[in-house]
Amino acid sequence: MALPEPSSGTGAPRAWSVAALLLAVADALASRLGAVTVRGELSGFTRAASGHCYFTLKDSEGQAALLRCAMFRRAASLLDFRPADGQQVELRGRITVYEARGELQCVVEALQRLGDGSLYELFMRLKGRLAAAGLFDADRKRALPSHPRALGVVTSLGAAALHDVLSAIARRAPQVRVVVYPSAVQGAEAPAQLVQAIAQANARNEVEALIVCRGGGSLEDLWAFNDEAVVRAIAASRLPVVCGVGHETDVSLAELAADLRAPTPTAAAELATPVRADALARLQALALALRRAVGRRLDQQAQRLDRLGLQMGRPARLLDQQGARLDRLQARHGQALVTALALRQRRLDDLAQRLHVAGRAQCQRQGEVLARLALRLAANDPHQVLARGYAWLADGRGRPVTQAAGLQPGTELSAQWADGRAAVQVLSVTPGPADASVSPPVGKPRAARKTAPRKPNP
């Protein structure tokens, strides 16, 4: 259907105004197409504070085709699901022209979910695999330095996110030095450059923490931060990493692997830096508290010096007091010596008395022992045995003769009695026991036999 040519009233065609042309195109599309039903994949879905929703519908068959869509609050309130990027949807609406930008758009009247898009499915599969590998575990997260001296920023030099980060750091902590490690944040070359920038920051070791950031965009625009190599580089970083990618509703795998996730790049800068004014105020409060503490301490010491000065008084009086104290100590010392000597003397006297008594008792006990030993010795005296009627027989060599065996008739022996000695000669030897008719002298024969071998003293 061809657009009507504008007329100037003179028959000659005149030029269209932009508004008139766009209105004519919108009327032509509305009359030509009417209500349409379109199927595709959601991308860049946002909900404004007014309740209106705006998003882009991508071709679900992979063609490079996009359709801008607007869904006003009345239609959005009828949704029975929560739209998100990557979802496959089917919408019904009217094709029109957004005059403010001259863009073709679809005013959506109804939206129905069909399923997740292929890119979103890839995101979920990759998220599950990296989570199983432990890259998102909470116990891996490290705390950022509370007062860093230098921070690194990994982003594109032309990105608005870099300006936001630098502005936030300059406003909050102008003393912090910022080192930028440039990298592409979108496109096919972005993952490799991001990995290289993170590795360079760790190798140079000139910052204390790293900010990885970029502005908002669709799932495709942010896909570099879902790349597995980038996620693993952030997880393996020696430097603590705070990641702020896109807007608050955007979630990337790089943010999940970072030590701290920020909803926006500006928020990442705020999380990584302390407020300089707050730090100065705290320092001032600490300095004031320190001055007060030192003042109290000085006052206490001054009072202590005053008390000591009062206690010291006049030197002459102190000397008199010390002299009197020395006299008392000297008197106590002399009395203590006299008392100690008296105690020692009494103890010595007591010990001497006890020693004398113990000596006498010991001498008496030893005398009784000696008397018993004398009786025993006298009982074993050979002369006493001989006095009871026994005789000591010895051969010519003076050896005792204790048995008849071995004697020969004619052997000369020497016999010793208690009152004298005689030389005897053996006339005969009769073997056998002694004659029972011969009674031995009264005494202890057994003892006589024991002492008979001893040679008596002449």
In single-letter form, the type of residue at position 84 comes to A
Burial 193-220 (b: 16+ CB within 10 A, else e): bbbebbeebbeeeebbbbbbbbbbbbbe
Angle at 179 between CA 178 and CA 184, to 5 degrees: 125
Q: Which residue is associated with the tokens 């952030």?
A: 234
| Per-residue confidence (pLDDT) for residue 453, from 0 to 100 | 44
pTM: 0.45
Q: Is 346 exposed, middle or buried (0-12, 13-18, 19+ CB in 10 A)?
A: exposed
What token pair was written down for 458? 């002449």
Instruction: Write out the two tokens for 9.
Output: 């009233």
Can you give the pLDDT at residue 115? 57
Q: Following CA atoms 302, 308, 310, 314 in sequence, which dihedral angle do they give, to the nearest 10 degrees?
A: -130
Q: What is the DSSP string of 198-209?
A: HHHHHHH---SE
Through-space distance between the first and last CA atoms of the chain, rounded to whole angstroms: 179
Series of mean pLDDT values for 10-residue runs along the chain (458 residues): 56 75 83 85 90 89 84 89 85 88 89 70 84 90 90 91 91 91 89 94 93 83 88 93 84 90 90 79 86 89 82 72 88 89 91 91 91 84 78 83 81 84 86 58 41 43
Question: Are the beta carbons of 253 and 126 closer than 8 angstroms?
Answer: yes
Burial of 107 (0-12, 13-18, 19+ CB in 10 A): middle
Rounded to whole angstroms, how far apart are CA atoms 321 and 326? 9
